[in-house]
Amino acid sequence: MVKALQKEKSEESLLSEMLSYLEPKQTVQINGKLSYKESLQAWNVIQLQKEIIDLFPQLREKRSAFGYTMYYNKEPKEAKKIMEELEKQGVVPIMLLLGKVKQGD
């Protein structure tokens, strides 16, 4: 298990080194939807709202490649630790909260 965690940490470090994080112009709250792609039988489509594109105009560069680092922790303490590490690096992450859409309220 320790080896798996070490491997995961080294992969995280490698990915972080491969990415130059984008910085937003301002703080916003945006609601969106996650879509199921029938042909792939997977939940793999997150459509970026116009506000995100406005905040990160680099995303309009169609020939550029973009990646992401996603953290989803079981415990708030773990998330706080990651936030503190990112703060030391001068990175402000996007918080993505997943939830089921309520029907018929």
pLDDT in tens, 52-91: 888 888 988 888 888 888 888 888 898 898 889 888 888 8
Cβ-count burial 36-54 (b if 16+ within 10 Å, e if not): eeeeeeeeeeeeeeeebee
Distance (Å, rounded) from C-alpha 75 to C-alpha 8? Answer: 18
Which residues, 6+ apart, have CB-to-CB distance to 43 below 8 Å?
34, 35, 36, 37
Q: What is the pLDDT of residue 13?
A: 56
Distance CA 59, CA 76 (A): 30
- Say what the pTM is: 0.55
Structure tokens given for 76: 């708030």
